[in-house]
C-alpha cells in the first residue's frame, strides 16, 4: 500500500479518539454527567460524612464553573471526568468529587472571607469565589500563580486575589479568615494559619499524594480558641468486616 494511503488511514483511525468524549465547545452534557457522578459518590459516602447529600449550592457551582478553562489544552477532553488531571509543573487539578467534598465541609457563606494556600490552576478558588465574599489565594510556584491569576481575571472572578510566595504566614493584612483551604503539601499546619483562623472558623486539608487524596482533615476552631480536628475518609469504607457506620 502506498505510504500516503497508510498515513491517511492512520489519521482517520486516530482522529475520533482525539475528539471524544467532548465535541466542540459544548460541555453541558459532560458537566451534567459529572454532577450525577459526584451526587452518586456523595450519596454512597453520605452517612459516613454526617450529611445526607452535598450542599445544593456547592453542587450548582460545580456544575457552573468551567473546569475545562482550568486544565491544559491537551486535557480538555478529560475536563469533566471525575478524576484529577496533571496541569504541568508537577501539579494537578483535584478530582471534582474531592473539590465538592472539601467545599461542602467548610460550609461556605456569601459573607465569608477565605484564604487558600496553593492556588494551582485556580479551580478551587473559582468554586470558592462563587460561594463566598472574598478569596485570597497564595501560590508558591510563580508560573502557576501568574497563569491562575490571569485566568481567574479573564473569567471574571474579581473577588479572588492571588499572591505569589510563601503561604506559611498566611495573609496577615486580610486576616482573620472564616475559612482556610490548604491544598499545598505541608508537613504540619503552620501556627500562623491557625492564628489567622477566626473563632468558629474551619480549615480543610487534603492529605495524600498529588493524584490520590487519602483522607481529609477538617480543623474547627471553637469560640474559646480550642482546636478540634475531624479526620475523614472520602470513601464509605469500614475497616471491620460486618462493621457499622
As annotated, the active-site residues are 94
User: According to the binding rule CB under 8 A, does residue 23 interact with another protein?
Assistant: no
Does 241 contact another protein by CB under 8 A?
yes
Three-state DSSP class for residue 103: helix
Segment near another protein (CB under 8 A), from 2-10, 104-112, 119-127, 209-217? 209-217
Give me the least distance between CB of 231 and another protein, in Å please.
6
| Residue 179 in grid coordinates | 475559612
Q: Is 235 in the site for another protein (CB under 8 A)?
A: yes
Residue 66 or 225 with smaller CB distance to another protein: 225
102 binds another protein (CB under 8 A): no
Q: Is 194 in the site for another protein (CB under 8 A)?
A: yes
Q: For residue 205, what are the β-bridge partners?
A: 217
> Considering the complex, what minimum distance in angstroms separates the CB of residue 157 from another protein?
24
**Which residues in 55-77 are b (16+ Cβ under 10 Å) and which e?**
beebbebbeebebbbbbeeebbb
For the window 78-97, what string marks contact with another protein as x by the rule CB under 8 A? x--xxx--x--xx----x-x
Residue 118: phi and psi, rounded to 5, are 105, 80
Largest CA-CA distance found in the chain, in angstroms, rounded = 80
Read off the DSSP letter of residue 77: G
Among 59, 190, 196, 202, which residue interacts with another protein (rule: CB under 8 A)?
190
Alpha helix ranges (H) inside 140-198: 142-154, 191-196
Residue from 9, 150, 185, 199 touching another protein (CB under 8 A): that is 185
Residues 6+ apart with CB under 8 A from 163: 136, 137, 138, 139, 145, 171
User: Of 65 and 101, which has the nearer Cβ to another protein?
Assistant: 101
44 lies in the site for another protein, by CB under 8 A = yes
* Cα→Cα distances 179→82, 122, 186, 206, 241, Å: 25, 17, 18, 14, 37
Interface pick for another protein out of 30, 54, 93, 98 (rule CB under 8 A): 98
Which residues bind to another protein, rule: CB under 8 A?
37, 41, 44-45, 48, 50, 78, 81-83, 86, 89-90, 95, 97-98, 140-142, 165-166, 168, 185, 187-191, 194, 207-215, 217, 219, 226-243, 245
Amino acid at each position: 500500500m502506498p505510504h500516503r494511503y497508510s498515513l491517511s488511514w492512520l489519521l482517520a483511525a486516530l482522529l475520533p479518539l482525539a475528539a471524544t468524549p467532548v465535541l466542540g465547545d459544548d460541555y453541558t452534557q459532560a458537566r451534567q454527567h459529572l454532577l450525577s457522578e459526584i451526587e452518586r459518590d456523595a450519596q454512597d459516602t453520605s452517612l459516613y460524612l454526617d450529611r445526607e447529600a452535598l450542599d445544593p449550592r456547592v453542587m450548582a457551582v460545580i456544575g457552573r464553573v468551567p473546569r475545562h478553562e482550568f486544565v491544559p489544552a491537551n486535557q480538555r477532553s478529560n475536563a469533566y471526568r471525575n478524576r484529577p488531571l496533571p496541569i504541568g509543573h508537577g501539579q494537578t487539578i483535584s478530582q471534582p468529587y474531592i473539590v465538592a467534598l472539601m467545599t461542602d465541609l467548610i460550609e461556605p457563606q456569601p459573607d465569608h472571607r477565605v484564604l487558600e494556600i496553593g492556588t494551582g490552576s485556580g479551580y478551587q478558588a473559582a468554586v470558592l469565589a462563587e460561594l463566598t465574599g472574598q478569596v485570597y489565594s497564595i501560590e508558591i510556584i510563580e508560573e502557576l500563580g501568574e497563569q491562575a491569576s490571569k485566568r481567574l481575571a479573564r473569567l471574571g472572578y474579581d473577588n479572588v486575589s492571588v499572591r505569589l510566595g510563601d503561604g506559611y504566614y498566611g495573609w496577615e493584612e486580610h486576616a482573620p479568615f472564616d475559612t482556610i483551604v490548604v491544598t499545598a503539601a505541608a508537613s504540619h499546619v503552620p501556627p500562623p494559619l491557625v492564628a489567622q483562623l477566626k473563632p468558629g472558623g474551619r480549615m480543610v486539608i487534603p492529605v495524600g499524594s498529588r493524584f490520590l487524596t487519602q483522607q481529609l482533615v477538617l480543623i474547627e476552631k471553637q469560640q474559646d480558641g480550642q482546636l478540634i480536628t475531624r479526620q475523614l475518609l472520602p470513601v464509605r469504607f469500614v475497616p471491620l468486616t460486618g462493621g457499622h457506620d
